[in-house]
Amino acid sequence: MSLLFHTAWENAEVWRAALRDALDGEAVEPLEGGGEADVAVVWNAPPRAFAAVPRLKLVCSLGAGVDHLLSLSPVLPGDIRFSRLVDPVMAERMALHVLAVVLRRHRNLDLFERQQRDRHWRRLFHDDAADTTVAVLGQGSLGRPVAAALAAAGFKVVGWARSPRTDLSWPVYSGMDGLHEAVAGAAFVVAVLPLTAETRSILSAPLFAMMRPGAYLVNVGRGEQMVARDLLDALDAGRLSGAALDAFESEPLPPESPLWSRREILITPHVASLSNPATGARAIAAEICRFRSEGILRNEVFCDRQY
């Protein structure tokens, strides 16, 4: 058998080699060449490239995001199945990134950086973590580890999810009715959400109006969930004190974007949870082997749910 592969990432060849090793030397060929392969592993593959792959049965994502897979659904046969990448290393990386940006703001490190540039000595005080609520929007394979890391650091954590959850050690609100309750008292609101019809543009003026004045926004989900103009307006009005943004509707973020020049905003280039070729390839290989031998997918993406 052979595997088809597509990504424009800088480490594409590292991924190709890791997949080949994880699948015991199976050939890993370019998707654009087509062929008789039954599986493709991709990130942002052009839909036209699938036209020459008549025996395709499974498409696997190279990352946790799946909206790029869902965009393929209308142009591929209805019996093709999709799988997301679930890798504990990615969850750990996401949790550490969010914990770092929350601690940076919580301990006033961003403000001390500004004071240092101005050679200004002034003590700033902060609440204890136990008195600081962090709302984590999204309780999936990345959102749960994020919430757990924040709770372990001593923060009061609340969650928000599409459906009720009773199996976690922090309270989880659900549905659009529970969103206000989740964010109203939070000093930090962290978005770790999949992109769906419900979550598109969710980080916008209506949500910001629900948040307590001076709250801080962290978006490590999808860029299409944030309305940049509404964020800037909320900062100008003092509704929000700042934001840490890792995902953007257009990437790379254009040089002319006004987000670059706002000192209240920390911008990182979509690095919160980079997939690891060594561990990620093994996770993908295990999913492929289960699918080929038993028809089972542990991390299946369902188009009707949009994740």
Rounded distance between C-alpha atoms, residue 268 and residue 177, angstroms: 31
The answer to whether 270 is a known catalytic residue is yes
- Burial code of 262-295, b = ≥16 C-beta within 10 A, e = fewer? bebbbeeebebbbbbbebbbbbbbebbeebeeee
Q: How is residue 228 annotated by DSSP?
A: H
SS3 label, residue 133: strand
Strands (E), the chain: 2-6, 27-30, 39-42, 58-61, 81-83, 133-137, 156-161, 172-174, 188-191, 215-219, 240-245, 265-267, 300-301
Max Cα-Cα span within the chain: 67
Tell me which residue of 265, 241, 259, 263 sits closest to 188, measured CA to CA.
241
Give Cβ neighbours of residue 72 (< 8 Å, ≥ 6 apart).
Answer: 45, 47, 50, 59, 82
**Cβ-contact 251, 230 below 8 angstroms:** no
The answer to whether 222 is a known catalytic residue is yes
**Marked catalytic residue, from 16, 222, 292, 305:** 222
**Marked catalytic residue, from 270, 282, 292, 305:** 270
Q: How is residue 270 annotated by DSSP?
A: S
Q: Which residues are catalytic?
A: 222, 270
